[in-house]
Amino acid sequence: MMRASRAVACSPFEVELFKSMRSQSISLAKITGQSGVIHHYTRKPLSEQKAEGIMMWLIDVGLLRREVDGQGLTDSFRLTPLGQQLLQLWQQQSIPRPSLADHWQNLCSRWVRWPV
């Protein structure tokens, strides 16, 4: 839970994105570019590649899942039960501001993965 919380805190996403994901899947197109800023999903416009990379990391830490339709995977995302637990915490507060140590730990966790 700590790793997922830290990953979100270090991401450019706002709590509004996760509130929306609680009840519906959100497509990558709504998160990227000016659309993400307009919907209050991001703090600044993100490229599709950057947003997808961050979303994939949030999947890896257990916060999100990718939506599936009859044809296979889509470009939409939803909260997992862990994501819903964290969202309940953030509704009482906001997403915590990450420290420099949080950024460092998130970077190490994301890019340096040891075999299990």
Rg over CA atoms, the chain:
14
With bands split at pLDDT 50, 70 and 90, how would you rate the model's confidence at 113?
A: low
pTM of the predicted model, to two decimals?
0.83
Domains of the chain, CATH where assigned: 2-102 (1.10.10.10)
Q: 45-101 pLDDT, tens per residue?
A: 999 999 999 999 999 999 999 988 777 778 899 999 999 998 888 776 677 788 899
Residues 109, 106, 7, CA angle at the centre, nearest 5°? 110
Paired strand residues for 26: 77
SS3 (DSSP) at 101: helix
Burial class (CB in 10 A: 0-12, 13-18, 19+), 33: middle
CB–CB of 110/57 below 8 Å? Answer: yes
